[in-house]
Amino acid sequence: MPSQAPLLLRHHRPFLAFWLARVFTASGFQMLTVAIGWNLYQLTGNVLDLGLVGLVEFAPRVLFMLHTGHVADRYDRRKVAAICQSLQALIALSLAIGSATDHVTREMIFILAFLLGAARSFEMPTTQALLPSIVPSTLFPRAVAAAQSAQQSATIVAPALGGLLYAFGSVWVYGPTVILYIIACGLMLNLPARQTPLNKGKATMDSLLAGIRFIRSRPDILGAISLDLFAVLLGGATALLPVFAKDILLTGPWGLGLLRSAPAVGALLMSLYLARFAVERKVGRVMFTAVGIFGVATIAFGLSTSFWFSLAVLVVLGAADMISMVIRASFVQLETPDEMRGRVSAVNGLFIGASNQLGEFESGLTAHWFGTVPAVVMGGIGTLVVTGTWIKLFPTLANRDRMSELVEEAKV
């Protein structure tokens, strides 16, 4: 049976459509991110604006967090995802038209970044909750791994492609992105209808807060996702990559694309390794060690003046982050019933978004205050401090030996 599972999954047409949709939407977003960052830095030359874009994109996750999960649990998830992808296509189209007519402004980018964040805040929990209804339960673990590989593969290729296309003009990035989102929308609408009954309950405060209560009731889960939140929030330097590419590493848009792709290369390689050699012992120690390596890699990147060394360090950074992601995802996926999977995914998405988009704002703000290199180095040191603090705050998580023990404790 195990040897037949990959073949069955590969020929499972609904999952193939879902996988391709993930590739196209992830590629579109990565290309948009590269183009928007470089475009904005060309317009203003202000590192703080790069951080503000991250904050503006993150804001909808906070504003709509309680409602995104409820929408994913109550309405047809295929249609919700398709609407979100259509909105992102319109955003890319607006930027393409603005670039072609030379009317892209700082204010326009901020407005569209907010709309992009709003669309993604509804899309993320919806697509995460959609996957279990597409494949049989026996294939679900492999489907999760395959879906993650689609995300990482797109994150590797798309930023480099976006940087290369930007060399010919920003419209050459925004135009193809529109097509990617339209294709993803069509694939999503062709998925089979949801088999489990929809949640017809009204959006009461008790229902909206169910995901938060679920996570709070499990201290080890809370510790794992909050560790990722604060560690990546402080250590993330993604928003400052345009500054490093242009002013420190002395490269162009193609170099920026490679820098953005490097963490995904490490993440993909680590995900493949973990799929073959799973972490079975000393789970807590492995997770905290990985976060510590993430902090050290951040410091090394901040101090580097070599383009190729910076790429290598970012690969290590992405690999370390993947270990934490795998452990966190194991908690959430194993312990969430389908009827509230959207709400729990929405809360988890807030933590992920905070560690990325809000981390970009933190990086931009500290770079504005102290300088680009000091900001990244201080962020890496902050990650190490958080790691040590969380070991003290969540000792049972830090001392866990087996992943199965985490699952068993959550069921008590």
pLDDT in tens, 43-65: 888 878 877 887 888 788 878 87
Mean pLDDT of all residues in the chain? Answer: 79
User: Is the domain of 184 the same as that of 210?
Assistant: no
**Per the domain annotation, does 199 fall within a domain?**
no
Question: Which pLDDT does position 137 carry in this prediction?
Answer: 63
User: Is the domain of 153 the same as that of 14?
Assistant: yes
- Tally of domains in the chain: 2
Highest mean pLDDT, choosing among 43-52, 63-72, 79-88, 184-193 = 79-88
Question: Which pLDDT does position 313 carry in this prediction?
Answer: 92
Residue 30 has pLDDT above 70, yes or no: yes
**Per the domain annotation, does 308 fall within a domain?**
yes
Give percent above pLDDT 90 in the chain.
17
Whole-number Å distance between alpha carbons of 41 and 32: 14
**Per the domain annotation, does 412 fall within a domain?**
no
Whole-number Å distance between alpha carbons of 16 and 199: 27
CA 78 from centre of chain: 20
User: Is the domain of 174 the same as that of 255?
Assistant: no
User: Is the domain of 118 the same as that of 157?
Assistant: yes
Question: Which pLDDT does position 5 carry in this prediction?
Answer: 43
User: Is the domain of 232 the same as that of 371?
Assistant: yes
Residue 191 has pLDDT above 80, yes or no: yes
Whole-number Å distance between alpha carbons of 341 and 398: 27
Residue 69 has pLDDT above 50, yes or no: yes
Identify the band that residue 205 occupies on the pLDDT scale cut at 50, 70 and 90.
low
Please compute the mean of the pLDDT values over residues 248-253 and round it to a whole number: 81
Question: Which pLDDT does position 406 carry in this prediction?
Answer: 39
Give percent above pLDDT 70 in the chain.
80
Question: Which pLDDT does position 397 carry in this prediction?
Answer: 81
User: Is the domain of 98 the same as that of 219?
Assistant: no
User: Is the domain of 23 the same as that of 150?
Assistant: yes
Instruction: Summarize pLDDT for 315-359 with one digit per residue, the tens.
Output: 999 889 888 877 777 666 666 666 666 777 777 766 766 666 566
Instruction: Summarize pLDDT for 121-171 with one digit per residue, the tens.
Output: 898 888 877 877 787 766 665 676 677 777 777 877 888 788 888 888 888
Flag the least confident range among 157-171, 248-262, 274-288, 295-309.
274-288
- Rounded to two decimals, what is the model's pTM? 0.68
Question: Which pLDDT does position 142 carry in this prediction?
Answer: 65
Whole-number Å distance between alpha carbons of 62 and 249: 35
User: Is the domain of 236 the same as that of 180?
Assistant: no
Identify the band that residue 95 occupies on the pLDDT scale cut at 50, 70 and 90.
very high
Could you tell me the two tokens for 394? 């969540």
User: Is the domain of 184 the same as that of 215?
Assistant: no
Whole-number Å distance between alpha carbons of 282 and 28: 38
Indicate the burial class of 305 (C-beta count within 10 angstroms; 0-12, 13-18, 19 or more): exposed
Does 379 or 111 have the greater pLDDT score? 111
Q: Identify the domain containing residue 221 by its residue range.
A: 206-404
Flag the least confident range among 187-191, 325-329, 383-387.
325-329
